[in-house]
Amino acid sequence: MRAEDQEVFENAVAQIKDEGRYRVFADILRQRGRFPHARLRLEGGGYRDIVVWCSNDYLGQGQNEDVLAAAHAAIDAVGAGAGGTRNISGTTSYHVDLERELAALHGKEAALLFTSGYVSNDATLSTIAKLFPDLWIFSDAQNHASMIEGIRRAKCQKRIFRHNDLQHLEAMLNEAPASAPKLIAFESVYSMDGDTAPIEAICDIARQYGAMTYLDEVHGVGLYGEKGGGVAERDGVMHRVDFIEGTLAKAFGAMGGYVTGPAAAIDAIRSMAPGFIFTTSLAPSIAAAALESVRIVRACPHMRDRLAERAERLKEKLKDAGLPVMASSTTHIVPVEVGDAALCKELSDALLFEHGIYVQPINYPTVPRGTERLRITPSPFHDDALMDDLVAALSAVWAQFNMRRVA
C-alpha cells in the first residue's frame, strides 16, 4: 500500500478519536448458565468478573439449557456448517421448520431466513424496490441503518418522515401519485430511545393511501404480545402489517434474521434477493437453537411479564437515585442520558474497570451527536441485588465526573 493510501485510513481513525467516539470492544467471555455474569479479559493478562448490562440477549435465551441442547444435538447429527447456499445443498430440515415456525409466530403465510437481521432488512427492502420500479418508500427518520441501507440502494422515490409523525407521513404520501405503489417502513420498538411506533394508526394511513407496510420488530419480537409476536401482536394489528421482519439474535438468543409476509411476496424475495441467494445459509446448529428458542419463548408469557417488571423496577431505582433515565422509553430498554461522546466513554470505562459493570457507550453514528447515552438492558435474570449494585456504581461515577442529577 502506498504511504498516502495508508494515511487515508489513519486520518479517518484519528478524526474518530478526536471526537471521542473511537470504539474499543470489551473482550469478554459469557459464562454458561450464569447469565448475565461474564469475564473480562484484561490487557495485562488475566480476567475480571463483570456483570453485563448491555446485552440484547433480552431473555437470556442464549444460555437456556434446552436451546444449547438443541444446538449440540444438531452438531452431533449433521455437523458444523450448512455447506452451501440455500439453493446449493444448504437447506436443511432445521431451516425449513424454523421458517414455518416464524411464519406462524407472526400469523403470516411464509417466512424467509437470512444470515442476520441486518441482511434481512437490506436485502428485502432493496428487492421490493426492484420489483416495483415506480415504488415510493416512506421511511421513519429513526429507522435502523439496515433499513436505511436497503432503501438507499433502491432506485425509487424515497421520503423520510419525522419520527412517529403521522401528519408528516400523510403530507409525504400526498406528494405521490395516487396510483403509484407505496411502502411505509418503520420499527415497532426504537432501540436507542426505547419508544414504540403507533402501528395501528400507521396501518390506518397505509390503508387510506393504498400503501404496503414493512415493520421491523427486531426489538419487539419475543418480548411483546401473548405469544411473543411483537408489539404488533400486543396491539392486535399483526394481521394488518404486510411484512414483519425480525431477528433471531436478540430475544431468541441465537443468530440470523428473517422476514415474514404473503407467500407470493416471500417467494419473489427468495428468488431475487442477492443477500439471500448468494451466501451460505445459517449453520444448522444455529437454526436448531433458534427453532427451540422460538418454541420456548412462544409458550412462556411469564418471561415477557418478568422482563417488563424488571425494566420498570430498574427505571424506578435509577430515578430514585436522581439518574437521568430518558423519558422516551416505554419499553424494556433503559437509556440514561449523557450528551457527550468522550464523557460517555469515560463513564463506561469507569463502570467497567472500577465497578465490574459493563454498559457500553452509545454514540454517533448510532445516535445523533449530543445525545450520547448509556443504554441499559435488564433481563429476567437481573435481580434486585444486581440492580442495587448497578445504581450504586452509576451514582459513584456520576459523582466522580460531576454529572447532572435530576430531581
* Range in contact with ligand PLP (rule: CB under 6 A) among 176-184, 214-222, 290-298, 322-330: 214-222
CB of 207 within 8 A of CB of 235? no
Residue whose grid cell is 440502494: 153
DSSP 192-237: TTTEE--HHHHHHHHHHHTEEEEEE-TTTTTTSSTTS--HHHHTT-
Residue 250 catalytic? yes
Considering only 139, 191, 293, 329, the residue that binds ligand PLP (CB under 6 A) is 191
Q: Which of 61, 247, 329, 331 binds ligand PLP (CB under 6 A)?
A: 247
Residues in the interface with ligand PLP (CB under 6 A) total: 14
Three-class DSSP category at 329: coil
Nearer to ligand PLP, 187 or 193 (CB): 187
Q: Considering beta carbons, is residue 61 or 146 the nearer one to ligand PLP?
A: 146
Please provide residue 82's backbone torsions phi and psi, each rounded to the nearest 5 degrees: -75, -30
> Could you say which residues in the range 101-160 bind ligand PLP, by CB under 6 A?
116-118, 121, 144, 146
- Ranges of H-type helices in 248-383: 263-272, 274-277, 284-299, 301-320, 341-355
Closest CA to 250 of 389, 72, 62, 33: 62
Residue from 57, 122, 187, 242 that binds ligand PLP (CB under 6 A)? 187
Q: Does 249 bind ligand PLP (CB under 6 A)?
A: yes
The reply on whether position 220 binds ligand PLP by CB under 6 A is: no
Looking only at the bridges linking them, the beta strands covering 211-216 and 195-196 are unpaired
* C-alpha cell at position 227: 405469544
**Identified binder of ligand PLP from the candidate list 74, 197, 218, 269, rule CB under 6 A:** 218
Measured at CB, which residue is nearest to ligand PLP? 117
Closer to ligand PLP by CB, 124 or 285: give it: 124
Segment contacting ligand PLP (CB under 6 A): 155-163, 213-221, 317-325, 368-376? 213-221
Q: Identify the CA nearest to 170 among candidates 209, 197, 123, 131.
A: 209
Binding site for ligand PLP (CB under 6 A): 116-118, 121, 144, 146, 187, 191, 216, 218-219, 247, 249, 257
Supply the residues annotated as catalytic.
250
